[in-house]
Structure 1
Amino acid sequence: MPFMTRRAALALGAAPLVAPLAMPAVAQTANIKLTLPWLAQGSTAYAYIAKEMGAFTRRGLNVEVSRGFGSVAAAQAVAQGQFDYAIVGAGPVILAAARGLPIVGTATVNYDMTMGIALREDSPIRTAKDLEGKKLGAVPTSAEFPFWPAFAQRAGINMAGITVVQMDNRVLERGLIDRQVDAITAIGSSSIPVMQAQRAAHRFIPYSSAGVNFYANVICTRPEVLAARKSQAEAVTEALLEAAALQLKEPERAIDMFIKQVPEIGITQGGRENARLSQGLMQWTMLAPEAMDHGLGYTDMAKWNAMTDLVMQYGAPNDARRPAPESLISNDFAGKIKLNASEWGTIRTNLAPFGAMLG
């Protein structure tokens, strides 16, 4: 979120939406720790939904889910053994590996980190080049800011006349709303719900419009864990993807289940709406050929290779070593949970308003 995102059910007792898969053999109930990239929010609610729907329990897993402090920190924490598994942005996974940290991905859940430029709706800035000569607010340690130069270069922006104003992530959106800056670099799935909660109309120019795109949530662990406890890693991955499928097909029920696991979401003013927005924005990024054609969790290795190139050029230190994509991510556990064409069509229609928010 640093590759980070920012901010802040009643289960109906029905049978699981997705028919349970044949469970990988797990000898006994295993206590494991899973960290999120940031706070509990709709974009990663499937970690809590997997608990509420029994997806972990059915696989012999007792999972403790903890909030994170940014994807970079989450990648470091799992690599250092503080957690068994983590949900981390693809960029931080690649960066951690480039720095020599032991980390490996088991599946990709979301296919766009929603990096971009947030604007007030009444802003005269209509295209990326219109940023020239303007004030741009940014959090230097955020996920998207290291790739601002890549976006500027590919969008044909002359950065020389742009004033970058360093801001705290707690006041980033407020600074834009109050016209302290003309635009901000942002993660759409985090900043848009914040602006919506403050009834601030916005527009968004995604980095992906200039070909700068990173996968968002990747399930990861350490190579030693994957080697020694492969069946467990498979079980954790399948449980999370089963919950993600439920989110896609029954979003309101998913929010109810999320709130049952994290009650403070339900009692906080605007909490449910923020969770709904965060969920919908991130789900929009699942409408990708990877998931639709190959099944949930699938990773396009050519795209992962391109993301690695971006990290090495713009985000990695000089002494970093380029990690081979095949050593960092695989599709061994992907593609077992699939939705049919009709289901994807309904989901696309339901999520269209969220896609419009992302430009």
Structure 2
Amino acid sequence: MFNRYISTAFAASMAVIGATGAASAETDMPFALDWKFEGPAAPYFLAVDSGLFADADLSVEISEGKGSLDAIPKVATGAYPVGFADINSLMRFIDQNPGAPVTAVMMVYDKPPFAVVGRKSLGIETPKDLEGKVLGAPPPDGAWAQFPIFAAENDLDMDAITVEPVGFPTREPMLAQEEVDAVTGFSFSSTLNLKRLGVAEDDLSVILMADNGVELYGNAVIVNTDFASENPEAVTAFLGAIAGGWKAAIADPEAAIEALLERNPAADAELETERLQMAIDDNVLTDYVAENGIGGVDADRMAAAIEQTKSVYEFTSEPDASLYFDDSYLPGADARMLK
């Protein structure tokens, strides 16, 4: 049950949340990211530095994460009111923890960056090439979590693939050193990390799961539903600022990276600019988002994603899309247009 996730962090965070009610001029909304301070996080820092959160009477401190599943229990326990996480993993968490006060409220990666990244020199160019090879996969990785769907859609023999559990810090170095033949990860993370490690770009094969039968959505802003019900206007304002941050980053990626470098001075500006642009082009500014604005989901596609998840995961209760995504906190479409 969900109670096993309750910790002292819950009591402390509820005290913070309770102190930021209507009587307060500013609402504290610490934001738990999925990953390190890299290019795709830059729009959130640009939103901070350009005053988008402050203008909405929000105080937002951004914390890095340890994978695309990491923020889910943080938000569910109330340690953070908002976070950024893989919606597919959120479905499973809610199924395994009925009543957990957490849901997604804004889709950001309309096309998920889940990928298998391999090296052509090691014989990896198509999904079938993984058979007979060694695949490095971090257990908390969002792409690895969806690999069974990818494998089923591409008729892969899992018994013919040697899966090597690896840590996030060692994932790309192991591929660079040819200790594994391919890895699971986010396309913009693994690809550029490997380039930084000296692997030639023309030796890399990036197999996007979304281009190979996987119909899922990707990472979304998630919220503690107890917090949201008590602070609906703050949540809507937060999402509006998130949309504004992405719009500003698309218009001026260099400014976004400058905001990132303020928090991560050791980052390579050129590489992180490329990483941000990959996320924009491949995952955020899709045709659907260009037409409808960032944040929403298509009901039919969401239903298809749930059905696809059911093909590899046995839900304990009948899945209900309304438990996983709530669009009622989104600002109007005009406020979410990115161009």
Q: TM-score, length-normalised on structure 1?
A: 0.79
- The 1:257/1:26 distance shift into structure 2, 3 A limit, reads farther
Residue among 7, 31, 34 paired with 2:31: 34
Structure 1 residues 1-359: aligned runs within 5 Å: 28-99=25-96, 100=98, 101-201=100-200, 202-260=204-262, 262=263, 265-266=264-265, 268=266, 270-284=267-281, 285-314=283-312, 320-332=316-328, 333-334=330-331, 335-339=333-337, 343=339
State how far apart, in whole Å, the 1-side matches of 2:91 and 2:177 are: 36
Q: CA deviation at 1:299?
A: 1.4
Q: CA deviation at 1:339?
A: 4.5
SS at match of 1:221: strand
Query: Could you tell me which amino acid in structure 1 is paired with residue 86 of structure 2?
Result: G
Q: CA deviation at 1:294?
A: 0.8
Give the superposed CA RMSD.
2.2
Of 54-63 and 83-92, more deviation after overlay is shown by: 83-92
Query: Could you tell me which amino acid in structure 1 is paired with residue 335 of structure 2?
Result: I
State how far apart, in whole Å, the 2-side matches of 1:122 and 1:137 are: 16
Identity of paired residues, percent?
Answer: 22
Structure (1/2) with the larger helix percentage: 2
Q: CA deviation at 1:184?
A: 1.8
Q: Deviations over 1:279-310 (max 9, x none)?
A: 12221212323311111212112222233334
Query: Could you tell me which amino acid in structure 2 is paired with residue 299 of structure 1?
Result: V
State whether residues 69 and 141 of structure 2, in contact with CA within 8 Å, keep that contact through their aligned partners in structure 1: no
State whether residues 68 and 140 of structure 2, in contact with CA within 8 Å, keep that contact through their aligned partners in structure 1: no
Structure 1 stretches of 4+ moved >4 Å: none
Q: Deviations over 1:205-247 (max 9, x none)?
A: 1111222143333112122222221111100110111001111
Aligned to 1:346: none
Report the count of equivalent residues.
Answer: 310
Q: CA deviation at 1:331?
A: 3.1
Of 274-283 and 242-251, more deviation after overlay is shown by: 274-283
State how far apart, in whole Å, the 1-side matches of 2:23 and 2:112 are: 33
Q: CA deviation at 1:313?
A: 4.1
State how far apart, in whole Å, the 1-side matches of 2:252 and 2:142 are: 30
SS at match of 2:217: coil
Note the residue ranges of structure 2 that are not aligned, 5 or more in a row.
1-21
Note the residue ranges of structure 1 that are not aligned, 5 or more in a row.
1-24, 344-359
- The 1:287/1:91 distance shift into structure 2, 3 A limit, reads same
- The 1:71/1:205 distance shift into structure 2, 3 A limit, reads closer
Aligned to 1:353: none
